[in-house]
Structure formats: C-alpha cells, structure tokens
Chains A and B, each alone.
Chain A
Amino acid sequence: MLKENERLALIFPRQLLTIFDLYFFQVMRRHIQHRTYDSELSAIAANSTQAFNFFGKTAPGSGDDILEVRKERPWTLLHFAAGIRPSEIWWFLSQPAEVVQTGWAYATPTAVTDKFDGVPGFLSPYDRPTVATEMVTYYKSSIYPGLRNDADRSIRPSIRLLGAGYDCLQITNGSVIDKMLAGVKPCRFLTVGGLRYFTYTVPEEWNPPTAVDKDTIEKVMQGAYR
C-alpha cells in the first residue's frame, strides 16, 4: 500500500512485447478500504470452483458491490489485496475480466480450474492479505476473480479485501518521468493485466500515456534501477 506523495506507474502493453504505455501518478490522498465477504459467499463443493461476482465483470461501473469502481469515482485508483480463508481456497484472477491471464500456463488460457496460476489461501491469509493477490483497478477497468476449493470437503470461503483508494495527480512532466524510469526518483511500477498485448481502456480524463520501449521495461521490471 502506498502513502501520500509516493509515486506509482501503471504499465499496459501497447504493442506485443515491444512498446508499453505507462501512466505515472503521485498519491495525493489515500483512504483505507476494507470489506469482508463471508455470508455473501456460498459454499464451494469439494474440488470445485465458484466465480467471485463482486467486481462487475460485464462492464465498468456495473456490478453489485461498493468496492467496485463507480462512475462517480472518488478515487483515481484502488489498490488492494485479498485475504483468503481457509488456506485451501485458491484465488484466480483475470484483469480486465475478459483477458486471459497467463503465467506458468503460457501457451494455454488460464482457467479457474487450473492447478497453476492461482494463489492458495495460505499465501495470502485472511488476516494478512499479501502481495500475492495484489490488484490495482480504476474506473473503466474490471477484475474477474474466481475461487477454487482444493479440499475434499465443502467449504464456505471468507474473503477480505484490504487496501486503499488513492486520489492521484497524474505526472506528465517528461523530466520527472525520465528520472523515475532511470530509478533516480522512486516509483512503484505495477502491471495491470500482464505484459502480453490486450486492449485496455482508461478514464477519459487521464492524460496520454508515456510510451516506453521493451528494454527499459525489462530493466524496470527486473529491478535494475531500484
């Protein structure tokens, strides 16, 4: 979770593994966001899956939960993680909702039923959500989580979303951006939906992104400039 005056950059692929769009922000104000889902969730049968339908999968601004990014959007960004209970519940994520996430399953679409690319609950405990389930979202984005019960008994899971809403100032000054890319000024770089190409949308009030080449992104993501 970032504090006031800290900076972050969202990375989106513009062209398959060659050019990336980066949006730089400075956190001006933050507000803790916390929500638990207990009785709202139904039991998942042994070794079965369930969609976690609380982010408005079908369209931005639609859905059934307060943590969804509403059209009024009091926060530029929501940055949070999911705590999972019990440990045998796995967390799967697609962001944007329609974009297949790939990791170990590079060559095949990742599904909520996969044994890989999910996060087991013990890696992000209910009481202490971790970076393993870190998510960033904003108006016009969508997140589609899914749950899988890895146990051989029926389990009603509990999920805790803990994070913050950020009021942000977009950084457009080229000199400042260059310093962040070079690691002179600290900045947290975050991918949204992975680095393989997909179509993304951002709020209309955001300024145009900064195009960054693959080599620079690789160095940034490898932490060479930290």
Chain B
Amino acid sequence: MSLEDITGVKPEDCWPLDVLVTTVETTKANASTCPTRKNLRCFYFLHGQDTSGAANTLTIKIYNSDDTVDVTIVIKYVGFDILLWSHGNYAPILRLKPGQYITWTAAVNNVQVHAMAYDL
C-alpha cells in the first residue's frame, strides 16, 4: 500500500530531517516542532549512523511545549553501527503532538541522523 492509501499523505508532503547529533542536546529553537495548527508530526523513517567508531548512545527526547519531557528513547550503538528504524507502510515511529518538539543527543560525537516526516 502507498503512503497516500494509508494516511492520505502524498510523497511530496514528506520532508527529510538531517541532524549531525553531538554531545550537546539540540536546542528548542533548533528542534523540529509540531506546529500548533497541525494535529501530528509523524516520523516514519529514521536512519542513524554512529561516526565515532566507539560505543555510543543516541538519546531522543520528545518535549511538551512547556519543556517537560514526554518521551525518552535511548539507542545503544557499537562503533559505526547503523540504525534503521521503520515500521513499514509509513506507520509513524515517532509522533509529536502540537507544540511538542524533538531533540537529539549523542554520548560521543557524532551520530548522523536522517529522518523522514510528514504533518497531519
């Protein structure tokens, strides 16, 4: 089934998010934030590669608009690992509610993240 069949979203409605994740957490100003006029921001694909060669962790946090943490996800890496995260069929793997934003932090510099998202 296509993305449009499942969500009504077309391929051209999706966009990439590329982040070179460092040991410094993404600031709110630079974070991907679900606009308040939308219902959801859905990430349906995530590719993350450790570039340090060391054992590493990637910490993903979803914050509420009042800066309280809603969700924390920690992914462990052995050096140069690649994480491919997708449920297939464009089902969201991470969802941001209106006003929520997502940040990224690595234990060791760096993790290169490439994600795909759409808004509903």
Contacts and interface: CB of A to CB of B under 8 A. Distances in A.
A88 B13 contact: yes
A107 B10 CA distance: 35
Contacts of A153: 15
Interface string A76-90: 000000000111100
B15 A85 contact: no
A113 to B, nearest CB: 13
A86 B8 contact: no
Given A151-B119, A152-B35, A85 B8 contact: no
Interface string B11-55: 011010000000000000000010101000000000000000000
Contact of A85 (B12, B35, B37): B12
B97 to A, nearest CB: 15
Interface of B: 8-10, 12-13, 15, 33, 35, 37, 119
B119 A122 contact: no
Contact of A88 (B8, B33, B119): B119
Given A151-B119, A153-B15, A87 B37 contact: no
A125 B12 CA distance: 11
Interface string A20-32: 0000000000000
Contacts of A150: 37
Contacts of B12: 85-87
Contacts, number: 23
Interface in A70-121: 85-88, 115
A86 B37 contact: no
Interface of A: 47, 85-88, 115, 122, 125, 150-153
Contacts of A122: 8, 10
Contacts of A152: 33, 35, 119
Contact of A87 (B10, B15, B33): B10
Contacts of B15: 153
Contacts of B37: 115, 150
Nearest to A46: B35
Q: Return the 7 tightest CB-CB contacts between A and B, nearest first.
A: A86-B12, A86-B13, A87-B13, A152-B35, A85-B12, A153-B15, A87-B10
A47 B15 CA distance: 16
B119 A86 contact: no
A24 B66 CA distance: 60
Contacts of B35: 47, 151-152
Contacts of B13: 86-88
Nearest to B35: A152
B119 A125 contact: no
A152 B96 CA distance: 14
Nearest to B37: A150
Contacts of A125: 10
B28 to A, nearest CB: 14
12 contacts: A47-B35, A85-B12, A86-B10, A87-B10, A88-B13, A115-B37, A150-B37, A151-B35, A151-B119, A152-B33, A152-B35, A153-B15
A220 B61 CA distance: 57
